[in-house]
Chain A
Amino acid sequence: GENVEQHPSTLSVQEGDSAVIKCTYSDSASNYFPWYKQELGKRPQLIIDIRSNVGEKKDQRIAVTLNKTAKHFSLHITETQPEDSAVYFCAASQVRNKIDMRFGAGTRLTVQP
């Protein structure tokens, strides 16, 4: 099955700096890559996603890049704010005869004011 690794496990940045979180996956058939933000005690919420036919997607301060050849994808947050502090999860998904959705272990991002 698919295996997703996420780095770093913790990340601390100063307000206004950029933050980058990286994920690698093992199954070349994976074709959908969402990113979720989870605040303490809350549900995971989708913040951005990308499909395998696209190399980059941007939504305001958030962007995701995908390198299918190297099997890795990254989340970029620019101009970080204290409210960006949360745990971020990447995931890789593919559908062959069944759905296989695997999440990374998460990155705890702290934005220092």
Chain B
Amino acid sequence: DAGITQSPRYKITETGRQVTLMCHQTWSHSYMFWYRQDLGHGLRLIYYSAAADITDKGEVPDGYVVSRSKTENFPLTLESATRSQTSVYFCASSEAPGSAQHFGDGTRLSIL
């Protein structure tokens, strides 16, 4: 679905660096989500947002920061990257809680 785009698609950085992953959706969905996907764990929710300026923690929020100043954007920041944050990150959006979530193409992040 072209309605939700993530950038960059691939990123390599070093431990201790700050890195921001971008997510943009054109559907005007109220809800946006960030997940990380690791082998053996499926997808785990990091943070979500119910609307502009409203965010809340998911299952694995430590080490991550989010913001939502505009409805269409939901950036995810790793303030001081660690190797354990190497993962594939997916952004998703939905019209309402407990409704179908539409995923972006993901960002593969490697932290050396």
Contacts and interface: CB of A to CB of B under 8 A. Distances in A.
Given A43-B104, A44-B103, A103 B98 contact: no
Interface string A78-111: 0000000000010101110011111111100000
A8 to B, nearest CB: 14
Interface string A26-46: 000001101000000011111
A49 B99 CA distance: 9
A49 B94 CA distance: 14
Contact of B100 (A42, A46, A106): A46
Interface core residue of A1, A31, A93, A99 (most chain B CB under 10 Å): A99
A103 B43 contact: yes
A1 B59 contact: yes
B97 A99 contact: yes
Interface residues of B, number: 25
Contact of A34 (B48, B59, B101): B101
Given A102-B59, A103-B42, A95 B100 contact: no
A43 B103 contact: yes
23 contacts: A6-B42, A43-B90, A43-B104, A43-B106, A44-B103, A45-B103, A46-B100, A46-B102, A89-B42, A93-B98, A95-B97, A95-B98, A98-B57, A99-B31, A99-B45, A99-B48, A99-B50, A99-B58, A101-B33, A101-B45, A101-B101, A105-B41, A105-B42
Chain A to chain B: the 8 pairs with minimum beta-carbon distance, closest first: A103-B42, A32-B98, A43-B103, A103-B43, A95-B97, A105-B42, A46-B100, A44-B103
